[in-house]
């Protein structure tokens, strides 16, 4: 790894977060302290558990990333995720090295902290506070990783949905379809049951990938009792209304993406709609530990915009770490890891990531329009998931079928 100290142009930094949000004069100051690194194949950039005082930004080339659970991925310069610094959990939960040639910019974290703290008031106002950003919070990541290792991570459930689940499961003659309908109401309960089903206690190599598989492995009685327990144990009471409303939005998104994933999978011969439905329900599971942390932390509970920022910046990282620790299938883990990656590409046949990304695209399209997402032709997963047959008619068919699937779940015993 070669280090060079030519003058770094401010424009080179302006392409990366947080410099995108800073006035140009502060980016210029930061550039004075930046250093360019030329990485060769195999050069080590970050070591696992290291406490590197710098942030690194990938300008071009590729990096090999291995997380604390041994899962490998590749970061590519210019990709959407490369706008952020290299994964910045502290201490590092990743080992990162060159994958071929690559160019990085290295900036001391202390420099970044100072230019952000000295920027004009409009940048660091309370309602848009960067210095309190959970994304930069050592405390959150240390707590999250410690609780993950000790199996103490709590995923919050909403009181209304938990109550509906409990009422249904308390009835007589609960069937498998009743259980599936109840579990599908609450992604937190579904995630915890999936963890139980894939536990090493069963000493089975095959991973459960759908709701029926959960019930088959745990049994109807055990699934019912465990779900009923979860339905009330992890409900947070007296939480700020704005925070609860945001959690409700995320739960609603999970359920709708789940239904859309099943609807899209029905159009293919490659993906089981049941597996796609569970993957869709889990696609944003990483938001749940963020809400759990926020509901117990006054600074975040009183400023929901910080929670919005955290969800945007790191929910997929938190979700992937959670899914790996809880032994979710590799396919579901990948669908969580790439849940925000519109540029994701696959081979000749669609995979689970394509299905979930296409479902999420339809969800965002139906709620916020094209303003917040790229055009369909710019999302390779849409062409892959629909075998190149995507058009407005097919899109409406997907939305209509998803609505039918959600209506069936509601009719199974979980009225709103």
| Domain termination residue (choose one: 84, 100, 126) | 126
Model confidence at 387: pLDDT above 90:
no
80 close to 344: Cβ distance less than 8 angstroms: no
Domain with residue 216: its CATH number is: 1.10.3210.10
Give the pLDDT mean for 297-306: 77
How many domains is the chain built from? 2
Which residue would you say has higher pLDDT here, 232 or 381? 381
Over residues 312-328, the pLDDT tens digits come to 877 888 899 999 988 99
Q: What pTM value is reported for the model?
A: 0.69
Among the residue ranges 83-92, 184-193, 260-269, 285-294, the one predicted with the least confidence is 83-92
Model confidence at 84: pLDDT above 50:
yes
| Domain termination residue (choose one: 72, 104, 126) | 126
Is residue 118 domain-shared with residue 136, that is, in the same domain?
no
Which residue would you say has higher pLDDT here, 355 or 297? 355
Looking at residue 201, what is its pLDDT? 65
Is residue 103 domain-shared with residue 155, that is, in the same domain?
no
Is residue 108 domain-shared with residue 137, that is, in the same domain?
no
Is residue 222 domain-shared with residue 355, that is, in the same domain?
yes
Is residue 141 domain-shared with residue 107, that is, in the same domain?
no
Is residue 300 domain-shared with residue 390, that is, in the same domain?
yes
Is residue 64 domain-shared with residue 173, that is, in the same domain?
no
Beta bridge partners of 377: none
pLDDT band at 286 (very low <50, low <70, confident <90, very high): very high
Model confidence at 136: pLDDT above 70:
no
Give the pLDDT mean for 54-63: 95
Domain range for 244: 132-416
Looking at residue 345, what is its pLDDT? 86
pLDDT band at 300 (very low <50, low <70, confident <90, very high): confident
Is residue 271 domain-shared with residue 213, that is, in the same domain?
yes
Give the pLDDT mean for 220-235: 79
Give the pLDDT mean for 141-146: 74
Is residue 69 domain-shared with residue 180, that is, in the same domain?
no
Model confidence at 376: pLDDT above 50:
yes
Domain with residue 24: its CATH number is: 2.60.120.10
Non-local CB neighbours of 147 within 8 Å, separated by 6+ positions: 153, 154
Give the pLDDT mean for 342-353: 88
pLDDT band at 348 (very low <50, low <70, confident <90, very high): confident
Cα separation of 264 and 269, whole Å? 11
Is residue 254 domain-shared with residue 356, that is, in the same domain?
yes
Model confidence at 194: pLDDT above 90:
yes
Looking at residue 225, what is its pLDDT? 78
Is residue 201 domain-shared with residue 327, that is, in the same domain?
yes
Average pLDDT, the chain: 84
Is residue 116 domain-shared with residue 160, that is, in the same domain?
no
């Amino acid at each position: 790894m070669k280090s060079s100290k030519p003058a770094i142009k401010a424009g080179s930094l302006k392409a990366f977060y947080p410099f995108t949000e800073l006035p140009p004069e502060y980016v210029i100051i930061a550039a004075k302290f930046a250093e360019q690194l030329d990485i060769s194949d195999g050069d080590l950039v970050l070591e696992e558990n290291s406490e590197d005082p710098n942030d690194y930004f990938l300008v071009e080339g590729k990096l090999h990333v291995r997380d604390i659970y041994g899962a490998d991925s590749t970061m590519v310069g210019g990709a959407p995720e490369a706008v952020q610094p290299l994964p910045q959990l502290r201490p590092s939960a990743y080992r990162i090295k060159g994958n071929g040639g690559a160019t990085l910019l290295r900036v001391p974290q202390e420099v970044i902290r100072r230019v952000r703290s000295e920027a004009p008031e409009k940048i660091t106002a309370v309602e848009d506070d960067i210095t309190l950003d959970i994304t930069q919070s050592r405390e959150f990541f240390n707590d999250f990783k410690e609780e993950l290792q000790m199996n103490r991570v709590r995923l919050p459930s909403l009181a209304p949905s938990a109550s509906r689940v409990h009422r249904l499961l308390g009835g007589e003659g609960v069937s498998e379809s009743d259980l599936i309908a109840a579990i599908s109401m609450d992604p937190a309960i579904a995630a915890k049951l999936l963890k139980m089903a894939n536990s090493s206690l069963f000493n089975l190599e095959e991973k459960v990938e759908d709701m029926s598989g959960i019930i088959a492995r745990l049994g109807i009685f055990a699934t019912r009792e465990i779900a009923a327990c979860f339905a009330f144990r992890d409900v947070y009471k007296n939480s700020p209304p704005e925070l609860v409303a945001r959690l409700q939005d995320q739960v609603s998104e999970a359920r709708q993406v789940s239904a859309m994933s099943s609807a899209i999978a029905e159009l293919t011969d490659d993906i089981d709609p049941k597996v796609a439905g569970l993957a869709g329900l889990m696609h944003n599971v990483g938001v749940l530990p963020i809400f759990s942390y926020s509901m117990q932390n006054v600074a975040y509970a009183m400023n929901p915009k910080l929670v919005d920022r955290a969800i945007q910046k790191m929910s997929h990282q938190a979700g992937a770490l959670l899914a790996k620790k809880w032994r979710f299938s590799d396919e579901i883990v990948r669908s969580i890891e790439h849940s925000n990656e519109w540029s994701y590409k696959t081979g000749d046949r669609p995979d689970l990531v394509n299905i979930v990304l296409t479902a999420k695209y339809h969800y965002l399209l139906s709620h916020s329009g094209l303003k917040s997402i790229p055009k369909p032709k710019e999302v390779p997963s849409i062409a892959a998931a629909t075998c190149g047959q995507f058009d407005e008619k097919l899109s409406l068919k997907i939305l209509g079928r998803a609505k039918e699937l959600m209506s069936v779940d509601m009719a199974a015993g979980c009225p709103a």
